[in-house]
Homo-oligomer: A and B are copies of this chain.
Amino acid sequence: MAAYERILCAVDFSATSEEACKRAVELAQLYGAQLSLLHILEYFPEDRSNEFIAPECDDPAGYLESQARLGLNELAERANCEDAVRRVLFSPDSARREIVRFAAANNIDLIVLGSHGRHGIAVLLGSTANGVVVRADCDVLAVRANK
């Protein structure tokens, strides 16, 4: 059985994904693996409220992307993994599918993600982690926060 060489941490900037990132950093160090941080912008609603996009913004998609990049940079600094690859992608369908696609395209052998992300209502708890576990061709570590 091969040691993990390429670890992907999928983050949604929740407290749970912050924990997942710390665990991914730890595992990348233990295995001497390359670490990638990925944030998926699941969709881009034209009517997204001004809470997220300033009304004077000419390029809302670009604004969201730059905010996500900034978020990844700050996360990498907090988690002490500033050498990690950082990617922000728009998804035409769902975060879980995009994570699985990215993992396959980049020969990821371990995906790490929080198992309670932003979709945290009742029956949907853990749905992104769950969807990734079902679909991924590689190992998946679902990290539970507030243990």
Q: Which of A96-147 contact B (CB under 8 A)?
A: 109, 115, 125-126, 129-130, 133-134, 136-144, 147
Which residue from B1, B30, B144 sits with its C-beta under 8 Å from A19? B1
Establish whether residues A133 and B139, one from each chain, have CB atoms under 8 Å apart when the complex forms: no
A residues contacting the other copy or chain, number (CB 8 A): 25
Contact A134 B125, CB 8 Å, known A1-B26, A26-B1, A109-B147: yes
Establish whether residues A137 and B133, one from each chain, have CB atoms under 8 Å apart when the complex forms: no
CA distance A30 to B129 in the complex (A): 25
Q: Which residues of A contact B (CB under 8 A)?
A: 1, 3, 19, 22-23, 26, 30, 109, 115, 125-126, 129-130, 133-134, 136-144, 147
Residues of B within 8 A of A125 (CB): 134
Protomer copies = 2
Establish whether residues B141 and A134, one from each chain, have CB atoms under 8 Å apart when the complex forms: no
CA distance A11 to B141 in the complex (A): 17
CA distance A126 to B125 in the complex (A): 17
Establish whether residues A139 and B142, one from each chain, have CB atoms under 8 Å apart when the complex forms: yes
CA distance A70 to B109 in the complex (A): 32
Q: How far is the CB of A25 from chain B (nearest CB, A)?
A: 9
Residues of B within 8 A of A140 (CB): 115, 141-142, 144
